[in-house]
Chain A
Amino acid sequence: MAIAVLDIDFEDMPEWVDGLQSYVGALVLVRLNGRPVGQAVLRVEAGRVHLRRDFLYAADSGFWEAWLRRHVGVGNDDRSPAHSSPPATVAVCTRDRPDDLRRCLAALARLPADGQEILVVDNCPTIAETRHIVENCPSVRYVREDRPGLNAARNRALQEARHEWVAFCDDDAAPDPGWLRALTRHFSDPSVMCVTGLTMPLELETPAQEYFQRAGGLGRGFKRVVFEGGRHDPLSAWCAGAGANMALRRSVTGKVGPFDERVDAGTPVGGGGDTDMFRRILAAGHRIVYEPAALNWHRHRTEWRDLCHQLEGYESARFAMLLTSLVADHELEALRHAREWVRKEVPKLVRALLHLPGATPAELAIARLRGAAAGPWVFLYSHLVRARRGWRT
């Protein structure tokens, strides 16, 4: 049985929502005056979720804090009004996912018109449909990047962007109308190089999607966090957000270098290009703001096989990043992180293999271990392949 995903404003919360016969529960994103502030997981009884009756008991600390701020009369600490921000570029990097892209572009069309430019970077395509979709959207610019890899596409987007602030949205995600304004308002602080946002699941229809969301998904909670090299360990930069929902200054490449094209989707190292960028931003003493008001909805992988592959990629990327930071940036603490990983993950793996209650499914645990063990080697392989083709790394 699946979990329904609802988007509700506390101000006009209905008594109940009907028609959820195929669901056992509902993940509710709750807003206060339009702003996402928290979530709750509620039971569905006979196709109905009793919002007014059940919500408060299940609400999280994010909701309660926001409610109390309003009750007490303390503002939300928003930065300068968003409409005064200069325009931004929105970049969608895609590869052969026409259906997802259509939904993403439809959502982008609903953003308030602040003069933003929308750019689709078609990465190493094998079909022509992406181009056709974009040709039907006159306000969207099409760019084709033939070097494979999500990070190659991101670098291309940074080069092509006409504006200084570039917001990235994954092709399998759909942004909320307030997304872009919430991201860009933080760039009035010149020490902010990157702003990340809250990613909620678009649907939780399959066990793979539900598992991924229960394990944390792509969200980083409902409270704003300012990450800073002086306070936060760059090697834990994954806490700062995810590439599915982030905005960067174009000038970041001049300060910390471009995205590392040896990693992330489309390369032998299946992920981690975003985290590696966050790590370098923090290590150079700049700021990353996690802004939960910048909301988008992401379609998680529907199949177990794809989820295993994704998690394997995450672990490969983790160890690839530890290797580069150790070798290239003399981050000796990378060794400690590797040791910590072993200390934490080995018992989890044992529990999974013994099928103990509450343990990770064995298939996933093995995929993660495989990814971790292979990480440094696939990274070296990726490096050599690109070096041989004469591509920038």
Chain B
Amino acid sequence: MSAGPEISVVIPTCNRVQDLRRVLHALMQQDFDARAFEVVVVADGCTDGTAGFLQLFRPPFELRILTRDNGGPAEARNAGAEAARGRLLVFLDDDVEPSRALLTAHWQAHVTGGEKAVVGPYPPASVEQGLLQIKVSAWMRDLFESMANPGHRYSYQDLLTGNLSIRRSSFMRLGGFDPELRAHEDYEFGLRVLVAGMRIAFAPDAQAWHHETITLARVLNRKRDEGYADVAIARAHPALVRTLPFVSMGRQPSMVGRLLRRVAREHPESGDILAGWIAPVLQLMDRLRLRSRWATSLSRLQEYWYWRGVWEALGSVESLRNLMQSAKERVAADPDVEVDVDLARGIDRAALQLETGRVDGVRLHYSGRPIGRIPPERGMESLRGRHLRAALVGQMAAPLLAALASDGNFGSHIDERHLVQRIWTRSFWFGGPVPDWVWSEQARQWAEFDRDVGGH
């Protein structure tokens, strides 16, 4: 073990000594050998007794402490990584509580399969009462669940830093996080991971729990920071502009959306005052459990603050136009790779066709019959067979089944035209599952039965 630790756990912290105590205690319970990892705590402008606690803390693993002036989490993580001696970096947020198997799971995720960034789940530890807390918790749980799905196509937005591992050499080669960003520095890093040809992966066993206090002010502040950061991402990576909300939202804005955008740009002072008034109204709606109105008002408020961040970074409509122009040029210089795939030769063969090289999108046919298209998307990993399979059982289920039926896949006794027609009548209920539709499909089956019986 003279070569130093295998893993360096990097924890940036700022005035949250209670949270820090929890994460360090959880690291004492790891099933990974305590001599084989070190913990680097980066105390980023702490004034709350963090230093005192750390001085007296005697863990079984090696604990190193870096103290610095408040420079933000990106800089703190970079500093931690710089000081780290392990071959593998595991970034944990200070309010995240790792499970016993977390380090082992991260370690094993890097044993095979090339260079990658591995995200572990950290859903909320508990749900507090309140519509906002419930909503954010549900969103986080959904996010990690979608990543656990084998057909999930990773995008740069899946890279989250609360529970993340990457080889130190890869991290250094990528140049670490961008310290200029106040938010979404994780997304921006994720993008460089993908561009460099590394993978983003998910390790479900690297389970942790997030002890986050969710307040409206924090949620809205974060939105503003995100708006600001998205513009910075767009400037650094113009080809991505299409995927950023300020462009996709701007494409078909509702009347309210247009108004919000305009107020955020032209009358931010009055807008902020108005937004300040809406916050207590939201709380009242929450108390009265007016869920749908509350949800609409919240998303409007978030939209406003997002645009405030966007305009703060952009300055003018002119610079938005310039940004769009340079994006167009960049995309034209590096066009999407879209391929044609014939499913009639077998699903496995089609999947195999996507296993090598860069593929952004795919057009699917079955002996000349169009089945569907997975449109090219920027900022995503290359399309692979598993993504194709997931898409086939999703939005393309009906056309594919109809093609299989007309091709005689269900036996010679079957009237192909009749079967194809029945499959199309079912297609309304494909995909789902929407609870309200369950009964309508069964009612339809009974109606068909009545017609069959009546007809004879």
Contacts and interface: CB of A to CB of B under 8 A. Distances in A.
B410 A61 contact: no
B430 interface: yes
Interface stretch (B102-110, B129-137, B245-253): B129-137
A72 B389 contact: yes
B374 interface: no
B361 interface: no
B438 A52 contact: no
A332 interface: yes
B400 A60 contact: no
A58 B433 contact: no
A230 B138 contact: yes
Interface string A50-77: 0011001111110011001101111101
B288 A286 contact: no
Contact of A220 (B288, B435, B452, B456): B435
A8 interface: no
Interface string B407-450: 00011011000110011001101101101111101110110110
Contact of B449 (A43, A56, A61): A43
Nearest to B127: A285
A24 interface: yes
A216 interface: yes
Given A60-B429, A239-B435, A330 B287 contact: yes
B370 interface: no
A191 to B, nearest CB: 6
Interface stretch (A34-42, A95-103, A155-163, A359-367): A34-42
B150 interface: yes
A307 B449 CA distance: 23
B423 A64 contact: yes
A18 interface: no
Interface in B136-167: 136-139, 141, 149-151
A45 interface: yes
Contacts of A227: 435
Contacts of A287: 141
B150 A75 contact: yes
Contacts of A220: 435, 438
Given A56-B410, A58-B449, A333-B291, A230 B422 contact: no
Q: Is the interface of B mostly helix, strand, loop or mixed?
A: helix
Contact of A61 (B128, B139, B441): B441
A82 to B, nearest CB: 17
B240 interface: no
Interface string A19-54: 000001100000000000001111101000000110
B435 A68 contact: no
By size class, the interface of chain B is 35 or more
Contacts of A39: 442, 445
A376 B389 CA distance: 51
A225 interface: yes
A221 B436 CA distance: 10
A227 to B, nearest CB: 8
Interface string A327-365: 001111100000000000000000000000000000000
Interface in B111-138: 123, 127-129, 133-138
B138 A225 contact: no
B289 to A, nearest CB: 4
B128 to A, nearest CB: 8
A69 B390 CA distance: 9
B137 A72 contact: no
Contacts of A57: 418-419, 422
Nearest to B386: A74
Interface residues of A, number: 55
B453 interface: yes
Contact of B289 (A41, A42, A53, A329): A329
Interface string A223-239: 11101111111001001
B393 A65 contact: yes
Interface in A230-263: 230-233, 236, 239-240
Contacts of B134: 229-230, 284-285
Contact of B137 (A75, A225, A230): A230
A72 B422 contact: no
Given A230-B138, A330-B289, A42 B449 contact: yes
A43 B430 contact: no
B441 A64 contact: no
A388 interface: no
Contacts of B390: 74
A389 interface: no
A283 B133 CA distance: 11
B435 A64 contact: no
B303 to A, nearest CB: 19
Contact of A58 (B123, B427, B438, B448): B448
Nearest to B430: A61
Interface string B393-413: 100010011001000001101
Interface in B365-407: 389-390, 392-393, 397, 400-401, 404
B449 A74 contact: no
B63 interface: no
Contacts of A42: 449
Given A61-B429, A73-B348, A223-B433, A53 B290 contact: no
Contacts of B275: none
B347 interface: yes
Contacts of A221: 433, 435, 437-438, 441-442
Contacts of A224: 433
Contact of B446 (A41, A43, A45, A239): A41
A208 to B, nearest CB: 16
Given A56-B419, A74-B393, A333-B290, A239 B436 contact: yes
Contacts of A74: 150-151, 389-390, 392-393
Interface string A70-110: 01111101000000000000000000000000000000000
Given A42-B449, A57-B419, 17 more contacts: A59-B426, A60-B445, A64-B397, A65-B430, A68-B393, A71-B404, A73-B347, A73-B389, A216-B438, A216-B442, A221-B433, A230-B135, A233-B291, A239-B436, A240-B435, A284-B129, A333-B289
11 contacts: A25-B449, A60-B429, A60-B442, A61-B427, A61-B430, A65-B397, A69-B393, A74-B151, A220-B435, A224-B433, A225-B435
